[in-house]
Amino acid sequence: MDKDFSIKSFGDSLSKYIPKTINNTTSFFDFFKIKAPNFDCNHTTNANELISKLVTLESLFKSNLLLKGHFNKHQEFFLFVGTPYSESLEANATLLDINSIENNSFELDIDLQKVFENQEISNQDLKSLVYKINEQNEALKRDKAEIEKLSLVASYNTNGVVLTDINGIVFWSNDAYLKLTNFSNLELLNKPLFNLFSSDSINCEVLEKIKNSFIQGVGFDCEVFHNKNKEANFWSRIKGQPVLDGNGAILQYFVVFEDITREKNIQDRLKEYEIRLTSVIMNLQKGILLEDENRKTVVVNKEFCSMFSIAMDPKLMVGLDCSQSAEQSKCFFKDSEQFVSRINQIVEKKEIVLNEELELVDGRYFERSFIPLFTDGIYKGHLWSYNDITINKNYYQRVNYEKGKYRRIIANMNIGLLEVDNDDTILLANQSFSDMSGYTIEELIGKKGSELFLEDQEKEKLIDKGKERKGGISDSYEMIIKNKQRELKHWLISGAPNYNINGEVIGSIGIHLDITEQKKQEQQLILLSLIAEKNINSVIICDDQGKIEWVNNSFSSMSGYSFEEVKGKKPGHFLQGKDSNLEQIHYLRTQLQNGLPFKCELINYKKSGEKYWVKIQGQALYSKEGKILKYFAIEEDITSHKKLKTQKEKLVNSVAKTNKDLESYALIASHDLKAPIRSIYSLVTCLKEDNELDKLSLEYLAIIEKKLEKMNSQIDDVLEYAQIDYEVFNYEDVNCNEIVSHSIELLQIPDTIKVTIVQQLPTILMDRYRIQQLFQIIMSNAVNFIDKPKGIIEIDYKEERNSFIFTIKDNGRGIAKENQYQIFTISKYFNNHDRSIGLGLSIAKKIVEMFNGRIWIESELGIGTTFYIELKK
């Protein structure tokens, strides 16, 4: 029963008293009542109160049937065990058997037959029996769970698994084993394990080992050739392990099968390759020595023995210690000690060494290589390779000597030489070519010339020249190339085909000359002649005596003289007259005589006698030896400029006088305008003191006061704006943090607006009064136009290379894009806000521009405005 007395199970002896069709909610009190202990028992009785007490139950279905027994606690349930009790107990003694009590939490199989024989069993003995049975059931549960786990492991193992008895008879296998062998369960079950192995290839020793393992009751790990139903047999690694009971007795064997056919095939191929490799090594014309990680000989060939005069069969050297072989062989080498130390160094570093050259005392040369061998990152030994290169060495020495002679000739040539193959790969270049191209010789060799030097258009030209070389044609041509510094150069190239000893064209050889400077001079001459001819100014070229050799058409148009009329004459003899400045004429002559540049303004005369102003500039042209070759001069007609200059001077004087008058007028006007404002303000003050005025009149007077204040402020702005241009600024180091803090105090910013200085502002060289005025105007503008319940003003800056850029950002009403361009002007008004500061932004712009700065805004309606102020450092 549970704690609520709902019956969960009952023994067979009670089946005649309790229907078997009860459910989990059937109450104990539907069948019995508690007669003793003598107290009121009902459905709310706590079963814990009945523990360890003798309880008498009265059946509600069978008269005169009493049950005497005890309540016992079992986990979260309660168990009643008792015996029938009546006057005729001795005659009709009946045993109450409980064969099974089951529920979701526990299983109980209790056989109490003959436990009670005509007498009551003691409650303590019965408890011990129940607890013992529970322990056994729990152990069975754990064993069952363990078996289920093993079953799952075996079933889902990717390798084949079979279970056998202690004699090796198979009684179970997983699906993986059936798939691996193509056997069915009928073909496999009750068969000896040993019958599964291939009789053709089984190793008797392996089979005997497996059988002995079963006899001895131990595990085994072997490789066997396994049968496969209707297919070729396969190699399998089998691992068997006995399964023991709690007492250490063998119950069965757990055997795992793994297909290793591919692995065995690889091993067989490796052995085959090893045999082939050994055969190749033994017959190589190079000396080969293979050592293991302990420097024991693994393989050595005849050539190695021959090279080092070893009179021993190579096969007999296998297993010999090679750690002292360098000492034994050092006598063969010219630098014997270096030979030994180098071998020790190579073996210690275990790094690949290729084609090291060794000189022997007998004049021979060996080429040595070292290759370390690693398996899965573990060092397994190394391979030595020795090659006799004496013949090649002597041949190349002779060839190199001959090449050296020609290379020295080529290297000392003052023109660039380049050799390429038929694919345009550079094979040879001399130092002059390296200097021309900007690339080192090492950077050139092996590269394609067209990729290094040519643009796409020139590449096609080179392809055509390559075709001509293959046809045996030699010629000269010009090309535009780019050097290493990506500069364009003009090269003159003389190319010819290059032949091999069979007369086949294998490439080409070219001689290269850099003609960039000559090309520039040609282009400059052409350009200068075009400029001189097309120049709107007059151009004159004279010989070293100052006599005219050439003039352009502009000269004829300007002076009225043709080239034929002035050729061979000195310009000053017919162009200058009585109004020409004598000092300027003397200056020109002195500069020309000294071969120095000249520049001046002078009055010339046309052929018609008309005067005109010219600006003359020119200089002498020298040869490489420093001798004057020619003079040239450019004359610009500045007559109209002279007239404009005179007019401008008059205008400037007039404007200066006008500005002075305006400044005086602004001062007078501001004074005269303020006088009536002050009078009106006094009258308004007197009127407000009149107690007979009603509320509306007082409101009108307050409006008049505000208008007077605004008018007074605008007059001050006009005066301020007019005076900025004439003010002398006092520059000093100004701490912008102090300026902003002072501005906040002066403006008396409302508590609803928070002003934040984002970061420490810089110290700048500025007029303190004007920078204070600038920040105050912008911040006042921000305060006046914030329409949010919580206003925000953020002041920040960033430092550029030559300036500081300050930002003053607010979350006010913003400015429409179509109005932003005119906020700094004094002629446009687009906002009738009562708190407008009049000319404030115009004054701010003028202050910034007076210090060579600039001011601009970014704004969005409803979001806010950011003012940017850039001031030079």
DSSP of 812-871, one letter per residue?
SS---HHHHTTTT-SS------TT--TTHHHHHHHHHHHTT-EEEEEEETTTEEEEEEEE
DSSP 3-state assignment of 659? helix
DSSP 3-state assignment of 380? strand
CB 670 within 8 A of CB 715: yes
pLDDT at 835 over 80: no
pLDDT at 93: 36
pLDDT at 91: 35
By mean pLDDT, which of 197-211, 275-289, 661-675 is the weakest?
Answer: 661-675
Q: Between the CA of residue 869 and those of 179, 737, 799, 800, 805, what are the distances in Å?
A: 84, 15, 12, 12, 6
Q: What number of other Cβ atoms are within 10 A of residue 830's Cβ?
A: 11
DSSP run (H or E) holding 628: strand 628-637
pLDDT at 566 over 80: yes
Confidence category of residue 828, pLDDT binned at 50, 70, 90? very low
Residue of 777, 650, 654, 669 whose CA lies nearest to 723: 669
Residue of 809, 829, 816 whose CA lies nearest to 860: 816
pTM over 0.85: no
- The segment with the largest mean pLDDT, out of 150-159, 220-229, 356-365, 823-832, is 356-365
pLDDT at 661 over 90: no
Q: What angle do CA 865, 867, 871 make, to 5 degrees?
A: 170
By mean pLDDT, which of 36-45, 417-426, 857-866 is the weakest?
Answer: 36-45
pLDDT at 466: 85
pLDDT at 132: 62
Dist CA 568 CA 742 (whole Å): 79
CB 305 within 8 A of CB 282: no
Instruction: Give pLDDT tens digits for 739-778.
Output: 999 988 888 889 999 999 999 999 999 999 899 999 999 9
pLDDT at 89: 41
Instruction: Give pLDDT tens digits for 46-80.
Output: 777 777 778 888 888 777 778 888 888 877 788 88
The amino acid present at 82, given as its one-letter code, is: G
3-state DSSP percent of the chain in helix, strand and coil, to 5: 40, 30, 30
Q: What does the DSSP 8-state code read for residue 44? A: T
Confidence category of residue 729, pLDDT binned at 50, 70, 90? confident
Confidence category of residue 794, pLDDT binned at 50, 70, 90? very high
Mean pLDDT, all residues of the chain: 81
pLDDT at 135 over 70: no
By mean pLDDT, which of 38-47, 59-68, 204-213 is the weakest?
Answer: 38-47
DSSP run (H or E) holding 578: none
- Residue 628's beta-bridge partner residues? 622
Q: Cβ contacts of residue 14 below 8 Å, gap of 6+? A: 96
Query: Which token pair is 484?
Result: 């290493």
pLDDT at 116: 39
- Residue 575 or 247, more confident: 575
Confidence category of residue 43, pLDDT binned at 50, 70, 90? very low
The position carrying tokens 């056994």 is 136
pLDDT at 611 over 90: yes
Confidence category of residue 139, pLDDT binned at 50, 70, 90? low
Query: Residues 123-139: what's their mean pLDDT?
Result: 59
Based on the number of CB atoms within 10 Å of its own CB, is 398 exposed (0-12), middle (13-18) or buried (19 or more)?
A: exposed
Instruction: Give pLDDT tens digits for 494-547.
Output: 899 999 888 899 999 988 988 888 877 667 656 666 666 777 889 999 998 999
Q: What does the DSSP 8-state code read for residue 759? A: S
β strands within 157-294, DSSP E? 160-164, 170-173, 220-226, 234-244, 250-259, 287-292
pLDDT at 295: 93
Sheet holding 160-164, edge to edge: 170-173, 160-164, 250-259, 234-244, 220-226
DSSP 3-state assignment of 140? helix
Dist CA 702 CA 710 (whole Å): 13
pLDDT at 705: 79
Confidence category of residue 407, pLDDT binned at 50, 70, 90? low
pLDDT at 686: 79
